[in-house]
Amino acid sequence: MTGAASGIGRATALLLAREGARVLVCDVDEAAGRATVDAIAAAGGEARFARTDVTREAEVAAAVRTALDAFGRLDCAVNNAGIAGATGPLHETDTEGFVRTLAVNLTGVFVCMKHEIPVMARQGGGSIVNMASGAGIIAVPGMAAYCASKHGVLGLTKTAAVENARTGVRVNAVCPGTTDTPMLRVARERGPELEKMILASLPGGRLGRAEEIAEAAVWLCSDRASFVSGEAMLVDGSTVSR
């Protein structure tokens, strides 16, 4: 479970543990990641922490090995690590920031799946959930890098799902709407124009909660979704439909 130190990742890790999963909490933020592990333990679950930067393939490979060493199997994986990244009109976007956004949000998902899929296929199956976004389906002005990365996540998800239709490895994506997370709070502080745009995009008049997104991710991980693969599940309070 990458990006599990806060927000949607933390909520998903906690819910997975409540449903009986043993969870490897992966994040670059060691203090917050260990706090997630402590919260799982306090609730009676089992978890371990592995500091993992998804832009470094060796660390991703090490995290998968850690999960196998600790738990013996890798039945599900939620690839959630992400950043808001470079913002502003496309023609004014810093190229280094654009590349960094794709490195975390898109290449990070690719590298995670590269190491997760073979393990699951050898076991005879498993479930991978990639965290995309409503911005992977529609345009969000001023967020070209983020949109590109999340559109790419959906392409990776669908390709991996088709490639593994006979291996028993299901691959799906969750596309959250605007959700109340620490990452969003930082983005909202950047200026009144972004705040105005966010509020105008919410047909239901409220932000999503991390726990609501976690419910979708955990369902896709479970056997209850045994015939679901290649899906991009919107969990956005009808934002994209408006």
Instruction: Give me the domains of the chain, ranges plus CATH numbers.
Output: 7-235 (3.40.50.720)
| Cβ 176 vs Cβ 12: under 8 Å | no
Higher pLDDT, 204 or 76: 76
In this structure, the number of other CB atoms found within 10 A of the CB of residue 42 comes to: 8
| Cβ 145 vs Cβ 187: under 8 Å | no
User: What is the mean pLDDT of the segment spanning 221-241?
Assistant: 95
Name the nearest CA neighbour of 68 among 116, 17, 124, 18.
116
Tell me the backbone φ, ψ of residue 106, rounded to 5 degrees: -110, -55
Q: Which amino acid is at 160?
A: A
Higher pLDDT, 200 or 148: 148
Run of H or E residues at 127: strand 126-131
If pLDDT is split at 50, 70 and 90, which confidence band does 207 have? Answer: confident
Tell me the backbone φ, ψ of residue 6, rounded to 5 degrees: -160, 175
Report the alpha-carbon distance of residue 101 to residue 144 in Å, rounded: 10
- Residue 50 has a pLDDT of 98
Rounded percentage of the chain residues whose pLDDT exceeds 90: 83
Report the alpha-carbon distance of residue 225 to residue 173 in Å, rounded: 13
- Residue 238 has a pLDDT of 87
SS3 86: coil
Give the CA count within 13 Å in the CB-facing half-sphere of 56.
Answer: 10
SS3 190: coil
- Residue 193 has a pLDDT of 64
User: What is the mean pLDDT of the segment spanning 192-197?
Assistant: 63
pLDDT score of 185 more than 70? no
- Residue 153 has a pLDDT of 98
If pLDDT is split at 50, 70 and 90, which confidence band does 188 have? Answer: low
Least confident of 69-83, 132-146, 182-196, 223-237: 182-196
Name the nearest CA neighbour of 147 among 160, 161, 165, 133.
133
Report the alpha-carbon distance of residue 61 to residue 3 in Å, rounded: 16
Q: What is the pLDDT of residues 97-136, one digit of tens each?
A: 999 999 999 999 999 999 999 999 999 999 999 999 999 9
Q: Where are the alpha helices (DSSP H) in the chain?
A: 7-18, 30-42, 57-71, 95-102, 108-123, 144-163, 182-188, 192-200, 210-221
Q: What is the pLDDT of residues 140-171, one digit of tens each?
A: 999 999 999 999 999 999 999 999 999 999 99
If pLDDT is split at 50, 70 and 90, which confidence band does 229 have? Answer: very high
- Show which residues are catalytic: 146
- Residue 195 has a pLDDT of 59
If pLDDT is split at 50, 70 and 90, which confidence band does 194 have? Answer: low
Tokens found for residue 63: 């995290």
| Cβ 37 vs Cβ 48: under 8 Å | yes
- Residue 204 has a pLDDT of 79
What average pLDDT is seen over the chain?
94
pLDDT score of 191 more than 80? no
Report the alpha-carbon distance of residue 72 to residue 101 in Å, rounded: 33
User: What is the mean pLDDT of the segment spanning 1-24?
Assistant: 98
User: What is the mean pLDDT of the segment spanning 41-56?
Assistant: 98
Tell me the backbone φ, ψ of residue 23, rounded to 5 degrees: -115, 130
